[in-house]
Structure formats: structure tokens, C-alpha cells
Amino acid sequence: MTADAQGPDTPDTATAVLARSEEQRQAGRVEGWSIAWMLLAMAVWGWFLFLMLADYGPEYGGRPECRGPLVGPLSEDRSCRDALREWPALLGILALAVIATVVAAATTVYAKVLTRLSGRERPGARPQD
């Protein structure tokens, strides 16, 4: 046996295995957070689309009186005044959707990078037989 060859149970290999498993756990945690952010982003986008497309207000003839902001012209009727259907609120919800989407994308990329890095060999480590 040469001086640079180490046996399978040396402290350096055990430390490397523990470090790799900790990196894999961290990658799994970040991946879980990325899934949570994706679900949140999809929920906010769904809420935004619902507010933009769905009809609302009092019903006349089996159909709501007020049209969604994206579907039809805005009604000047007082019963169609809804704080969430006005443009400042809609733009705020859109901003929340965009922020959640950007954070979801960033955490997804970070999780993929951590997963790739956790599978890499350590510098100076020898491949196992």
C-alpha cells in the first residue's frame, strides 16, 4: 500500500460522505421550498386571472351584471364598484404574481445547482471501486 492510498474507513472518506449527505439534504430542502413557491405563484396567477375574467355583481336574468375588466367594458354602475376589480388593486396582485414567479424560478435553479454540486466528487478524492 502506498502512502497516498487510503483505506475505505479513513476519517477523510467518512467526513466526505457526511458532507455530501448534508449537501443532499440541503438540496432537498431548497427543492421543497421551490415547489412551495411554484404553488404560491400559480395560486396568485389564478386569483389574478379570475379577477380579470370572471363576471361579478348582482345577477339580472341569471347572469351577473358586471363584466370582468378584461372581458368587457367597465360599467359605471355603482353596484359594479369592487375594490379588487379596480386597476390599482389588480396591478398590485399582478406584482405579487410576478414576484412569486421570480422567486420560484430562482429557488428552482438554486435547487438544481445544489443537487448537481452534491453529486460531485471532492477534489483529491479517489473514485471507489
- Which pLDDT score is estimated for 23? 84
What percentage of the chain reaches a pLDDT higher than 90?
Answer: 40
Residue 126: the pLDDT is 56
Tell me how far apart the alpha carbons of residues 11 and 24 are, in angstroms, rounded to a whole number. Answer: 20
Task: Give the integer Cα–Cα distance in Å for 108 and 91.
Answer: 25
What single DSSP character describes residue 59? E
More confident residue, 59 or 1: 59
**pLDDT of res. 71:** 85
- Alpha carbons 100 and 46: distance in angstroms, whole number: 13
Roughly what angle, to the nearest 10 degrees, separates helices 87-118 and 11-53? 160
Across the chain, where does the E strand assignment appear? 56-60, 63-66
C-beta separation of 55 from 71 below 8 A: yes
pLDDT at residue 1 tops 80: no
Beta-bridge partner residues of 59 = 64
